[in-house]
Amino acid sequence: MNDTVADHYGGDRKLTEVIAERLQRAGKSLSTVTTSDLAAVDEFHIRGRKATLELARTMQLGPESRVLDIGSGLGGPARTVAEETGCHVTGVDLTPAFCDAATSLSEWVGLNHIVAFQQGDATELPFADNEFDAAMTIHVAMNIAAKDRMYAEAQRVLKPGAVFAVYDVLQGEGGDVLFPVPWAREPSISHLETGDEMQALLTTAGFEVRGIHDSTDESQAWFEKMAAGIATSGPPPVTFDTFLGADFPAMVKNQVRNLSDRRIRTMTFVCTA
Ligand SMILES: C[S@@+](CC[C@H](N)C(=O)[O-])C[C@H]1O[C@@H](n2cnc3c(N)ncnc32)[C@H](O)[C@@H]1O
């Protein structure tokens, strides 16, 4: 199952070269590229960099903080949080091609002294007990059936009282998800819970859920804008089609329906370990 998930995201190990080539074609130089320039490809979740900045604020971080990003993808959220707050972020992700790209992109923007990435499974984290001051996870749990193990692991590696910020795609009340979507081309690697189920899972793992925010309306507007842009001028020069391939426009179209029908919802849970 894990191999299928990693293949879905990163079958092409030449991802860094492809992103570099596309950036250069779009007139960007790798020596001056910024985290904000990379956001359209490396903030791989609904509402992009804005959503990451919201999570950063909930974690109350400073230069002394050691933060874990579970399912760090290409490392956009880790770099944004580290750059904004000066903290150190360790990213862990199942997909080897994403971990390699995350390291290269961090070198381009000069942040590799405060971010680091390693391959690993969220349900079996390669870290010691009580190692981190805070953790975040953005759009990852929808690929993980064993969410009880994922959240138990997050609880284990966090210090008591640490903030755990979870921003995810949830099952809505409007019916079954229309595939393909960015996290799965078919249902076998898609595992959505409802908001109530997610809250129960987090509580059972020992977290106190202190705040819940439903951003579905904003997510719908975000995907509608992207779909309109694709309809008039095709995908932007550097975006998720770099690794999702030719299915990307169909995924965007389905996400507009999934969100407007409330087949899915996007929600943030701010918890304390
Ligand atoms: C939609 S991407 C989000 C990436 C990143 N959090 C972001 O917002 O830019 C989902 C990520 O979850 C990772 N993932 C899926 N299952 C995982 C698991 N069991 N352990 C660690 N990472 C996993 C995938 O490899 C992928 O990078």
CATH number at residue 160: 3.40.50.150
Could you tell me the CA-to-CA distances from 40 to 133, 160, 242 in Å, in that order? 28, 35, 11
- Residue 182 counted as domain residue: no
pLDDT tens column, 88-147:
999 999 999 999 999 999 999 999 999 999 999 999 999 999 999 999 999 999 999 999
For ligand 1, whether the C-beta of 143 sits within 6 Å is yes
- Residue 176 counted as domain residue: no
Q: Tell whether the model's pLDDT for residue 1 goes beyond 80.
A: no
In this structure, the residue with its CA closest to atom 13 of ligand 1 is 71
| Residues whose CB falls within 8 Å of the CB of residue 14, separated by 6 or more in sequence, listed in order | none
What is the domain range of residue 113? 2-170+190-215+266-272
Structurally, how many domains does the chain consist of? 1
Please state at what angle helix 76-85 crosses helix 48-59, rounded to 10 degrees. 50
What whole-number distance in Å separates Cα of residue 49 and Cα of residue 44?
9
| Average pLDDT for 44-54 | 97
Matching residue, tokens 């078919």? 186
Residue to substitute in 93, 147, 242 for testing ligand 1 pocket (most ligand atoms within 8 angstroms of CB): 93
For ligand 1, whether the C-beta of 153 sits within 6 Å is no
Overall pTM > 0.95: yes
| pLDDT for 11 | 65
The full DSSP string for the chain is -HHHHHHHHHS-TTHHHHHHHHHHHTT--TTT--HHHHHHHHS-STTHHHHHHHHHHHH---TT-EEEEET-TTSHHHHHHHHHH--EEEEEES-HHHHHHHHHHHHHTT-TTTEEEEE-BTTB-SS-TT-EEEEEEES-GGG-S-HHHHHHHHHHHEEEEEEEEEEEEEE-SS-SPPSPBTTBSSGGG-----HHHHHHHHHHTT-EEEEEEE-HHHHHHHHHHHHHHHHHH-S-SSSTHHHHGGGHHHHHHHHHHHHHTTSEEEEEEEEE-
For ligand 1, whether the C-beta of 117 sits within 6 Å is no
pLDDT tens column, 197-237:
999 999 999 999 999 999 999 999 999 999 999 899 888 88
In this structure, the residue with its CA closest to atom 27 of ligand 1 is 73
For ligand 1, whether the C-beta of 75 sits within 6 Å is no
- Residue 202 counted as domain residue: yes
- Residue 227 counted as domain residue: no
- Residue 224 counted as domain residue: no
- Residue 66 counted as domain residue: yes
- Residue 194 counted as domain residue: yes
Structure tokens at 211: 């705040």
For ligand 1, whether the C-beta of 140 sits within 6 Å is yes
Tell me if 67 sits within 8 A of 138, measured CB to CB: no
For ligand 1, whether the C-beta of 132 sits within 6 Å is no
Q: What ligand 1 atom has the least distance to the C-alpha of 98?
A: 27
- Residue 238 counted as domain residue: no
For ligand 1, whether the C-beta of 183 sits within 6 Å is yes
Q: Which of 272, 39, 24 is nearest to 160 (CA)?
A: 272
For ligand 1, whether the C-beta of 207 sits within 6 Å is no
What whole-number distance in Å separates Cα of residue 12 and Cα of residue 5?
13
Q: What ligand 1 atom has the least distance to the C-alpha of 140?
A: 12
pLDDT tens column, 164-195:
999 999 999 999 999 999 999 999 999 999 99
pLDDT tens column, 126-141:
999 999 999 999 999 9
Tell me if 261 sits within 8 A of 174, measured CB to CB: yes
pLDDT band per the 50, 70, 90 thresholds, residue 13:
low
